[in-house]
Amino acid sequence: MSQKHYNVLIIGGGTAGIMTAAQLMRKKKDLSIAIVDPTKDHWYQPAWTLVAADTYNMKDTRRDESSVIPPGVDHIKESATTFEPENNTVRTKGGNAYTYDHLIVCPGVQMNIDDMPGLREALKTDLVCSNYLDPEKTKRVMQNFKGGNAVFTQPATPIKCGGAPQKAAYLADEFFRKTGVRDRTKLVFATPGSVIFGVEPFRFALEDVIRKKSIILKTFYKPVSIDPVRKEIHFAWSKPGDNNCVINEEQGLQEKIEGESTIVMPYDMVHLAPPQSAPDFVRNSPLAYADGPNKGWLEVDIHTLQHKRYANIFGLGDAAALPTAKTGAAIRKQAPVVVANILQRIKDGELSKEQYSGYSSCPLVTGYGKMLLAEFKYDNVRDSDPLLSRMFDTSKPLWSMWILKKYMLPWLYWNKMMKGTM
């Protein structure tokens, strides 16, 4: 067993880990910093929706992890397994221990495929797919689709890029029009929530998109299991305080009700986001909430991003219990707060004045050549970029926003965000 000490130890080499490390190195080059992450590949996952819609190349979303690790930062190619915050120690699967002055926890989320009965078996078929797992398979499934019930859904758990499942549905509508099967397709978007999007005015714009595309919106539909043999997906009726489950037989979906509140819907293809959580080594650790609505997620102050019980630990990104969307745009606003606070603590033991307001954004692609940019902060309050909002009405699907999504954002990600300059 080996042991090494770092001024800053970062758990996770995704967007949050790389960006934070790069910003720290730019501001204080004499820091000893390491990133603990076993992966060899670094993916630009926001483009995977476009890959599935056959408008982006999968290989262009990948870089070698070693190529994006900032110069001067050690890459520990191991899996973290255990946190010992009282000893300022992290242990790894290889039996090694690493100590730190400050710890940053940002390992992202894990896909819990087995939390949905039947899903693992269903994903082995040619009818069930997920952009979160394999966008190229999604493209193949849609290419082979000949009509029937095309069901798009998302889980009740928090997920990264919460708008991605509905983006997949919007692009599928146009994909099916191109392949000539849309007129014999019942395209369903089923969500456990009460509305398509929680922030106004984006909600109204998206409701208009759904209406124009003739997408069947099913609210309060929580996916609970899938039967790949019978080709049925099961939903629990999730409207609070209402056990009176009703289906609309006029929609021609051939739904049926089993028991008091289980809806069974036959499918000819399904796209879904698997249930997600913080990685096991986080949710079973002393750093996570032990109970309550945030159980299993990293326990941090929502404004300072400092751990609530361990002052030299900070968290950001998808694993953190923050009441906002889990997106790269959110991380772009979180990283400077973590950096400023750690540098201030190194200087005088205090926190900086930097605060995170909950900013996040969701580039909602509504079709080929159209996108609206939903920007918001805590409490579902709209929070538009001052420059963009002067030039565009980002609450409406625009061609200019599509250009931003397809060309500008990938360039900014690799050349600015990963370099710590944005």
Query: Quick check: is 106 catalytic?
Result: no
Compute the distance between CA of residue 104 and CA of residue 110 in angstroms, rounded to an integer. Answer: 18
The question of whether 362 is a catalytic residue gets the answer yes
CA atoms within 13 A on the CB side of 415: 6
Provide the pairing of β-strand 148-153 with 269-272: parallel
Kindly give the pairing relationship between strand 62-64 and strand 3-11. Answer: unpaired
Strand pairing category for 216-219 and 185-191: parallel
Tell me how many degrees the CA angle 226-231-234 measures, rounded to the nearest 5: 35
What are the tokens at 143? 């290419």
**CA–CA separation, 49 and 158 (whole Å):** 18
For residues 227 and 235, what is the distance between their CA atoms, to the nearest angstrom? 12
Residue of 106, 129, 245, 362 with catalytic role:
362
How far is the C-alpha of 160 from the C-alpha of 277, rounded, in Å?
10
- 305 phi-psi bin (left φ>0, alpha ψ -120 to 50, beta other): left
Amino acid found at 146:
K
C-alpha distances out from residue 383 to 304, 368, 369, 376, 404, Å: 19, 26, 24, 4, 18
Residue 148, amino acid: G
Q: Which residue in the list 106, 129, 161, 245 is annotated as catalytic?
A: 161
- Residues marked active site are found at 161, 362
